[in-house]
Structure 1
Amino acid sequence: MFVGRVNVSLNFTRIKYNKTIADEWRFPNEPSINSFGEVAPVNIFEYLPDLQSNRVIYLYIEPDGCEIVEQCVGGSGWRRLLTFSTTTPNFGTQDLRLGTVSYFTDGLPNDAITKHHIFEYSPCHKHFHFSHYGSFTFGNLKDQSNLTNSKRGFCLQAVYRHANAEWSPLNQDYYTCSLQGIPAGWRDTYQSGLRCQWIDVTSIDTSIQSYTAPLYSSLNPDGFLCEGTPQPDTWVRTEFNTTCCSSQGCCGNSNETQCCGGEPVDRAGCETWEGAQEDNVSEVMVTLPLSGEGQVTEKCWNSTGSWSEKRDCGLKLHPKGKYLTCNKPGQQVALKNVISTDFYQVVRVCEASIALRSGLACIWNDSLANVIISHRDEPRDVHFICPPKRDSIETGGRFAVYFGPLFTELTFGDVSWSSIGQ
């Protein structure tokens, strides 16, 4: 085997424009068309495949966490969260431009859009938030059952060129939160791994059966993003007012305390084309799994993440390990004499919640123990630290067991243990 380095050089030749080749690779075939049959200057919409990539996770929220301050969750402690991504392409032919924002400041509103309170300062996150990007709802809209709503503050930023067309520029200026917007053919994506990019579904009971309901996304519900022609230096008073984020207000360390609570919010003038918001609302059906299940127990989405003991999908909650007790919180304990009757099986030990009375479907990084058991092995002990006390409710000493084949193409084996000891 040869190990080393090979130096190569690449020569690129710009070929002459060929309409036939361009027609073959152009996407989309044309920009958005408005209700008058004209090319839309700006048109945003929800990219459905990203909204469909949703999953359930479990997260411990501290009592003084930013998630509490900004009302991203219904309370502190262990929460069950429906996470999802949202992607907003602009398929008009002009930039969707919000403008400059002094993003990381002490809260002093220096720019037009902060002086008009479109952006509010978050003392917890130490930057400004835009609270009119989109609203997300999960539940039955007809009878309002299990209905939860989440409205998030976003930085509008072009992160990916979604279109491959002549009207979409190759270079753009909206790559930081200091100048915010989406150029023609580009998109803004807010990944599901980001804090508060979720809906708190802790209150929905799935202890006996799963729950299926629509997840709704409504982009630009309040019309603060101009889907049309901007009217320069024109501001329109809205029905919205600023809110206080904490007892210290929303202005950080600055003396501009007048922005804290009750200040009117203005909208930049915009001549919106008729029907601009018709494609801003999307809906996907989502099934919340049984308690104790989540991302880790879902089917693996791609082949690269479907094997090894470190994967975070394709496992099952063990029927005899859904909610177990270890009597020495904070000390080492063990599942005794763990065996498998089948080919290599992954055994993962996760913390469990007393409040939720379920396991927490932990990812590999958060697992208490994660081992491979083979049918050829002698019975072995799986050691881990019994979960310590977190708060007055989560007093520790609870865990759950998940298992699955080392490779998802293989079958689930029979994993068992004799007792819980030291």
Structure 2
Amino acid sequence: MNLYRVSALVGWVVILAAACAALAANAFAASLPANWNPQQVAVNADDNNSFLLRPGQILVAPGDAIDVGRVLTGSGWKRTDTRAYGITLFQKAPEKPETAAREVLDTIAKVRTATAYRPQGPARVAPNHVFVGESITSTDAINFMGEPRIQGGPGSSVELASLPKELPSRGALPGDGKGAKIAVLDTGMFEHEWLRSVQRAPLSDDVWDVEGDGYGDNESGHGTFIAGLIRQVAPAASIYAVKVLDSHGVGDDLTVATAMSQLPADVNIVNLSLGGYTEGNQPPMAIATAMQAWQNKHRVVVAAAGNHADKRPFWPAAFGPVVSVGAIEDREGVFAPASFSNYGDWVDLVARGAGLQSTFARETTKVATGPTPSKSDPSITFEGWAEWDGTSFSTPIAAAMIARTMTRAGLLSAADASHKLHVSAPLSGLAPFPYARLLDEFR
């Protein structure tokens, strides 16, 4: 057991026991992690409708902005501009952080009521849902700062691992993935000698410690880890990295949809190791609009099922057209559901998601041993390689398996390869995943 786990577990065993009891009734009622900005993330802390959202932001579907603008005239809500796929953003400075979620939801209810008379139905409005990166372990759900995670992520539990002499192969042939291009929409990338071929969108560098407080951010290295897994499974696939999450793993519906709208034309697989819950479990508006626009294209979107150990639909994985991926672990040659993985009949595939090792940053971080940072906190140094758990990492294995299938079956369409992989893989046989197919990249 490495220093991170020893220090974290010793310092937090009592605190986490109490925290788990408090969070069991409503995980969203807890305070946001200290390094999350309450001006950027709000919690709708309703036991039956819990989710994260951007304060002071409302998304409006294409064609509805004029009617919404009429309803909100004089209320302080301002129409800013039209974004990707015709989505319009309305904004207003929240009165105070603790009521920010309620302000958004009350305004949405007002718009729906005021436009219910329309022949086409109420105006289509929604919160700008916050999505987070999906990495965690089942035994140590805290980050470097010692804070409990929220909404199934983030909350980094990355561990030290020794850098191998060369990038390992996870059952791959040298040409696997040739002809496929996988977009990784995530935290961006760190430099790594095994990832020099990764193309990057502008402004897609990852950040280790944005506050400069000596503690690595919750999900720094998340995108770098994912890219390394893809290369281990489909080494000849092209990778295109786009930053849609900050280094604490926080992003949102509109940012992800905007990135989707700007992808190069030759991208045929999109990896989304992120997600969240939504108002009334409804599809997030911006990505739903993007998926509708992509109906006649041969792109495949692969998304993490989430790490909340819950069957509640987790978006964007819960979209019908999206390939949703849950996590399993190998227990002495027998696959079992990973204890942290979300589950249900909406999960399409399951793949390894525990004890995975991949490329990471070369950075040093202090590790909190108590409820607040301390000068006596020890430091650990990563040397470009790490071990991590989560459906975040089951997802790139599935994406790379689709790319591998394209190559081995001689298919030009990622959609065709996804279908072939799905029908050829065995049913998982695991009760939490009644319809999911099991992927084993080593076979």
TM band (smaller chain): under 0.3
Which structure is higher in strand share?
1
TM-score (structure 1 length as normaliser): 0.24
Q: Which structure has the greater CA radius of gyration?
A: 1
TM-score (structure 2 length as normaliser): 0.23
Which structure is higher in helix share?
2
